[in-house]
Amino acid sequence: MANSLTMAKKEKQDWKDRLDVVYSTNPDFKYSKEEEEVQETLPPAKQTLKVSIDRKQRKGKSVTLVEGFIGSEDDLKELSKVLKTKCGVGGSAKDGEIIIQGEFKQKVAEILTALGYKVKLIGG
C-alpha cells in the first residue's frame, strides 16, 4: 500500500518536471531539469569574514552583520544558528550574509575566530 501511495504522489508531481516545456513531438523526449550548482564551502581558515554594525533601513535598531561567507546556504544557516545561540538573540541568514539582532560585534568576532575563521572588524 505504501508503494502505491508513493507512485500516486510521484505522478501528481510529474507536471512540475514539465513546467518549462511547451510541447514536444519526439516520442523519446525526456524531461530534464538543470541541477542548481551547489557552491562548495571553503574551510574556515581560507575565509575572511567582515563583521560590522548596521543601523540603515532598520528603523533605528542595530544589527551585527557578518559578510563574506563563501559556501552553501545550509552551511551559512548552520553558522548563523551557532552565532545566534551563543549570543542568545535572533537573526537571519541569506545571500552569504548573517544578521544578528543587537550590537555583538566583538562577541561575534571572538566566536568566529574560535571557529577558525579570519575576522575583519569594519567600522568604529
What pLDDT digit, counting tens, does each position of 55-107 carry? 888 888 999 999 999 888 889 999 999 999 999 999 999 888 999 999 999 99
Q: By the 8 A CB rule, do 62 and 55 touch?
A: yes
Give the residue carrying C-alpha cell 575565509.
47
Closest listed residue to residue 50, CA positions, set 70, 69, 66: 66
Number of domains in the chain: 1
53 found inside a domain: yes
Report residue 38: phi and psi, to 5°.
-95, 120
> pTM for the whole thing?
0.68
Which residues, including other chains, have CB under 8 Å from residue 28's CB and lie 6 or more apart? none
CATH of the domain at 84: 3.30.780.10
Report residue 106: phi and psi, to 5°.
-70, -45
Strand partners, 118: 48
> What domain range is 67 assigned to?
44-121
